[in-house]
Chains A and B, each alone.
Chain A
């Protein structure tokens, strides 16, 4: 719900409740309703608007019921001081509710952020990627755009850690992530899913752009890594697909990322591998078996150990 809509609803609810309060007279307390709408305002709009709503509720109660109910004593014994104290302490209750509720919301948001973010680089982590990926696929389906799933791993990263320590390795990862943030656009999804492994999901106006986008990203990130001064580069793999071909479930999407990973590792350092799934048909029909048999796993291990292929 947008903040504007929440604000308008709060205002309308407050006005409506005040009206009902006035109609029902001083014998009926609508404190519960005022409390609920203060909670709603604090949850959706934050602490300060929560306080403002609490204050607005107290004004409404006094306007609807007068000061008398705040010091219900026989005529002649009414004390403004007593009534003022009662009003203030009732307001404080609403304000405390606003503070607790808005604090809870903030904590939940911070927790959600923390659980989907990689603390070292600030990029999304795997959980964050799967959440953002679903939205990106849905958006692409609505707009009819194509998608590119990229897998990138760093070449020579272990060497940097071994020779210069983990602090140097961390710097490389942060520089890489900063480079990605500069190269990718706001709607693109980028995540660190392993020690030196990253994935990205990009939307494209059409599948033909995928090749150019992939090679450009690889080139920019390679330059960014070179600029760290360390002997580190990157290898990339990409699947270009129409939005309709994009995997529905996160499991299937990560499966696709795994296929890219195998292909990139098999291909050797510094290379780029691209699959135009839009030209070759369904992405899932061509999938690797989900649970490789031991012979498939053995041939994968052999492929990973094989030296890079040279020209025919």
Chain B
């Protein structure tokens, strides 16, 4: 069978969501050492070879911080995190090859060959999702249990706080 994937749709609040993204000066958070530390903590805490702070900006997914990522940005349509921004609780995909939304995704069938994904949205005070904090693995996992999801969400909260802090500085 051909392997398909679904590019994420645009959320209904996309214009205001994108405005919120543009309000963040991406240069202020790119390669920020605190964000980098949080991402490394996420990778360690969940035993994941890859992790990222991802911002969904117009047509692209941009990694403000990352661990072992082969690229700095991807298209929005192939980004797992562009699905995560719809989810209040976050998104977890135990085996991308078996998930019809992602089975044919270029990031799954080619480098970096993602099998497992877990992401928690980064929401600002107005509730808009700028992107997500995510962890990735090239091996599938059987699940992502409740307390792991909570831990990831708490870390995402810290990431968002740092992003907001950086906007007030400079």
Contact = CB atoms under 8 A, between A and B. Distances in A.
B134 to A, nearest CB: 15
A312 B104 contact: no
A215 B77 contact: yes
Contact of B3 (A271, A272, A275): A275
A interface, over-half SS: mixed
B6 A211 contact: no
Given A212-B75, A215-B77, A279 B7 contact: no
Interface of B: 1-7, 9, 59, 75, 77-78, 83, 86-87, 91-94, 99-101, 104, 106, 109-110
Name the interface size band of chain A: 20 to 34
Given A211-B75, A279-B106, 19 more contacts: A211-B77, A211-B78, A212-B59, A237-B4, A263-B2, A267-B100, A273-B4, A274-B77, A275-B104, A276-B3, A283-B2, A286-B1, A286-B2, A309-B100, A309-B101, A311-B86, A311-B91, A312-B91, A312-B93
Contacts of A259: 1-2
Contacts of A311: 83, 86-87, 91
A212 B77 contact: yes
Contacts of A274: 4-7, 77, 104
A274 B9 CA distance: 13
Contact of A275 (B4, B9, B77): B4
Interface of A: 211-212, 214-215, 237, 239, 259, 263, 267, 270-277, 279-280, 283, 286, 288, 309, 311-312
A196 B77 CA distance: 26
A202 to B, nearest CB: 16
A152 to B, nearest CB: 15
Contact of A211 (B7, B9, B92): B7
B109 A279 contact: yes
A288 B1 contact: yes
Nearest to A263: B4
A276 B106 contact: yes
Given A211-B7, A275-B104, A312-B94, A280 B2 contact: yes
Would you list the 3 A-B pairs with minimal beta carbon distance, nearest first?
Answer: A275-B2, A273-B4, A275-B4
A242 B4 CA distance: 16
A280 B109 CA distance: 7
Given A211-B77, A211-B78, A280-B104, A273 B6 contact: yes
B148 to A, nearest CB: 14
Question: Which of A239, A267, A275 has its CB near the most chain B CB atoms (within 10 A)?
Answer: A275
